Structures are given as structure tokens and as C-alpha cells.
Amino acid sequence: MTINYEYYRTFYYVARYGSFTKAAEALFANQPNVTRTISRLENSLGCKLFVRTHHGVELTPEGRLLYSHVSVAHEQLQLAEQELADSTSLRTGTITIGTSETALNLFLLQRLKVFRNRYPGIRLRIRNHVTPQAVAALKQGQIDFSVVTTPVQPDAELAVTTLMSFQELLVCGSDYEALARTKKPHRLRDLTEYPLIMLSRDTMTYGFYNEWFLQHGARLEIATEAATADHVLPMVEHNLGLGFVPRPWAEAALSSGRIFEVPLAESVPERAVILITNTSRAPGVAAQEFIRFLRES
């Protein structure tokens, strides 16, 4: 049986107010139309839904049964409409972001603060991912978008936007200060005897540096494997070895003399913080607004 939704909507208001006149006012309709709609609904269902009283109308047993279901459905639809209105107006919503420590600290944190101040009702969920994990999560629909660092493997399903460029420098602690005091820059192959702190071999960062070392006739060997990029600087300060860190992270420690820059003959290639979106899956309204905000910033 297919019955026009407007019939049930009219029935809901008549039952709620116990009056055809009040239902017509709530529906911005006239009373004869409301009466005709209820009559058509009763004919379609094959039963009486209302009986007239001195005060208006009351539900029949069949009407009460129908109202117990229609009221729940109508109120759920109203709730859904309100939630959609709040979401499209950016009063509420949820954004799930996959990001790495480097991208988070170099670029994303400040933008998160600005966006949160602008849209305080939107819930932000931040997932800690290295680039390959972020790509996998994005393809599986677990996150709305990712903000990570290059390099990233090309993929037709993904759209990549560069948000900012940065360069890393090689730094050391006080035990290796002599490396920083030399006037002549060091070649990579001359530094392989020193312990190096690096992310694990399954990260894109390791692959990036491994390829760069090989291009200059050097072999990349890890002495201390860091779990995340933000672990490298403290390890360097505690003299576990030499490490590559983004220049903005190193500035305070360099100024205070806790670490020292090791001059290199070969320039470290630039890397970038990038935004990755899935071209085959559209994110929600809130996520779309944040993506637009990131691209503009």
C-alpha cells in the first residue's frame, strides 16, 4: 500500500491538537482540505481514525495504533531535518582528519585553532597517521581528508594540494658539537660513521632520505629508530645521535645552544605539507568547509 506522506503528516497534526481547525493552522492550510485529506486516509486504510466530540476529535483505537507509529516517524524526520539544517549551516558536524606529527605541528595546529574559533559547534577528531596509513584510511572512508608530508605515492583516486613547503636540517647535541664547528661542510658519505636517528624503514620519510643518501653515494644506516618525528629532536638533545628535523622545530633549541646545525655539502631537498582528499568520496559539509579554509590559507 502506497499512501502520500502528506496524509500521515496531516493525520499527525490533527491527532496532536485534537482539532481540524488547529491542525489547519499548524499546516498553513484550510480546514476543508484537512478534512478531505483525513477522509482519503481513512478510505485508503479502510478504518475510522477519529470520532467527533464536543471539544473536537478523538482518536479511535485504530487511530491510536496508527498514531503510535506515525508520531515516532514524524518526530524522527523533524529531528533529522534540524540536524541537517544545523550541519549545513555549520552549527554542528564532525570532521575526522588523519595527520602526521610533522604536518600537525608545522601547519595544522594553528589552522585548527582558527577554524574552531570560527565554528565552535563542529567536533574535530584527529587521527595520528604516517602518510601511508593516512592514504589507506582515506580510501577506506575512515577519515574525511588527511594533512601529511611528502613524499606520497601517486594515486588516481587521490587529489593532492600543497599547503606549505619546508626544509629539514641535520642537527646534533653537545657530544658532537665539533661537527658543527668545522668551516667546511660535511659530505653525506663522510658522516655515515656517526649514529643517525631516523623514523622506521616502513615510513615515507625513511624512503625519502634513503633515496637521497644513495644519490650522493652514501648508505643510510639507522642507529636509533624513532617512533614519531617529534621524538627525533629530544633524542638529539640527549646525544643519541644526529637527526634531521624541520627548521622551525629546531630554531628554539639552536638559539639556546642545546643543539647545533651540522653543515652539509649536499642541500636537503625541500618537502611539503600536503592536503589529500579522496576524489571518489565526497566529505560532509563541515569537512568541505575546512578543506576550502585550508586551501585558501
The torsion angle over the Cα atoms of residues 129, 233, 164 and 278, rounded to 10 degrees, is -10
Highest mean pLDDT among 4-8, 120-124, 240-244: 240-244
If you average pLDDT over every residue of the chain, what do you get?
A: 91
- Say if residue 24 is in the same domain as residue 161: no
Q: Which of 73, 88, 103 is the last residue in one of the domains?
A: 88
The CATH number of whichever domain residue 66 belongs to comes to: 1.10.10.10
Count of all residues that appear for the chain in the document = 297
- Say if residue 160 is in the same domain as residue 217: no
- Say if residue 51 is in the same domain as residue 173: no
- Say if residue 262 is in the same domain as residue 277: no
The domain tally of the chain equals: 3
What phi and psi values does residue 154 have, to the nearest 5 degrees? -60, 145
pLDDT tens track for 98-156: 999 999 999 999 999 999 999 998 899 999 888 888 889 999 999 999 999 999 888 88
Q: Which of 62, 88, 114 is the last residue in one of the domains?
A: 88
- Say if residue 161 is in the same domain as residue 100: yes
Write b or e for each residue in 85-102: b if 16 or more Cβ atoms lie within 10 A of its Cβ, otherwise e. Answer: eebeebebbebbbbbbbb
The CATH number of whichever domain residue 236 belongs to comes to: 3.40.190.10
- Say if residue 248 is in the same domain as residue 280: no
- Say if residue 136 is in the same domain as residue 158: yes
Q: Is the pLDDT of residue 163 over 90?
A: yes
Instruction: Please give the pLDDT value at position 269.
Output: 94
- Say if residue 10 is in the same domain as residue 69: yes
pLDDT tier at 289, thresholds 50, 70, 90: very high
- Say if residue 292 is in the same domain as residue 250: no
pLDDT tens track for 176-230: 999 999 889 999 999 989 999 999 888 889 999 999 999 999 999 999 999 888 8
- Say if residue 292 is in the same domain as residue 152: yes
Give the range of the structural domain holding residue 115, as residue numbers without chain letter: 93-165+273-296
Residue 257 makes CB contacts below 8 A (sequence gap 6+) with none
What phi and psi values does residue 294 have, to the nearest 5 degrees? -65, -45
pLDDT tens track for 48-61: 999 998 888 999 99
Instruction: Please give the pLDDT value at position 91.
Output: 78
Q: Which of 28, 53, 88 is the last residue in one of the domains?
A: 88
Instruction: Please give the pLDDT value at position 132.
Output: 86
- Say if residue 103 is in the same domain as residue 140: yes
Instruction: Give the pairing type, strands 56-59 and 224-226.
Output: unpaired
pLDDT tens track for 58-106: 999 999 999 999 989 888 887 777 777 666 667 778 899 999 999 999 9
